[in-house]
Amino acid sequence: MEKSKQEILKTPLISFVVVNYNGEEYLRRCLSSIEKEPIDFECIVVDNGSIDNSRKVIEGFNVIRVFNKKNRGYPRAVNQGIGKSKGKYIFLLSPTTYLKEGSLKRMIHGIEQDDIGAVAPKLLDEKGRAIHSIRSIPTPLSFFWETIGGSRIFPFVSPWKLPHFDYSKKQEVKQPMSCAFLIKREVINEIGLFDERFFLYFSDIDFSKRLLKKYKTYYLAEAKAIHERGGTTVNLGAKRIRILYRDLIYYLKKHHPLSLPFIGILIIAIGELRYLCSKLIQSLRVGKK
């Protein structure tokens, strides 16, 4: 439904970029929530070769559409969307996420300071519980700790995932999850687009790491979004594990090359073991049917 000029708040043009992969069950709710926002916006949906009914859902909305023939990876699809955008601000929004009423206005207000390059809302699950979405920029030791399962054994000890972060107050942060992430265009113009050598994971960390060299990122507790955890990545099956560890190795190669001889082999070995176990479990489940 079109909004009247009186209903639209006086804000700069916001360019929503939604990257979709087999997200049919979430996509309609996400795009509907964007339509309800009383702002001047455009929405670019980049579909990464979905084989469900996503195309039909997308074509039911007044959005700029990009249909890739195959899954080209998350950062490349984000860059495609940004390339077609015109807004002063770029809002990355995953199909599994939608904003609560009034939150976008708060985010726009929160990003207006010159030294702030990006802002992120408080993410909630369907039951209204805060999702641990704020993290630090990881170090090789952080990855080692996670790879050996340290944070699973000691869930309150994670220098990367910040289990003690206070989600009740606004504050400067290092790296929010990118499923709801508002970025100034001037930031992208200055530091560059997402690194397309990643496929799915760690490209948002890489982007935040580059952003922090010149700008600040803020977490806004008063802005809220609902996020379905797991979401569309489960559609990749066991392949997701190999992608995770491949992207991790590339991140270390790019930012911490001296660490590779020490933890690279361990990460590859554990990743391959997890992949084979996942494939085995998957085949056993199929055999029981």
Q: What is the pLDDT of residues 155-203, one digit of tens each?
A: 888 999 999 999 999 999 999 999 999 999 999 999 999 999 999 999 9
Is 19 exposed, middle or buried, given 0-12, 13-18 or 19+ CB atoms closer than 10 A? buried
More confident residue, 287 or 123: 123
- Same domain for 115 and 212: yes
The pTM is what? 0.91
Per-residue pLDDT band for 227 (boundaries 50, 70, 90) equals very high
- Same domain for 211 and 249: no
Tell me the pLDDT tens digit for each residue of 42-64: 999 999 999 999 999 999 999 99
pLDDT of residue 234: 65
What is the average pLDDT across 201-215? 97
Residue 146's domain comprises: 140-161+237-289
- Same domain for 112 and 65: yes
- Same domain for 216 and 76: yes
Angle in degrees, 0-180, between the axes of helices 74-83 and 203-211, rounded to the nearest 10: 50
* Whether the predicted pLDDT of 72 surpasses 80: yes
- Same domain for 284 and 184: no
- Same domain for 44 and 173: yes
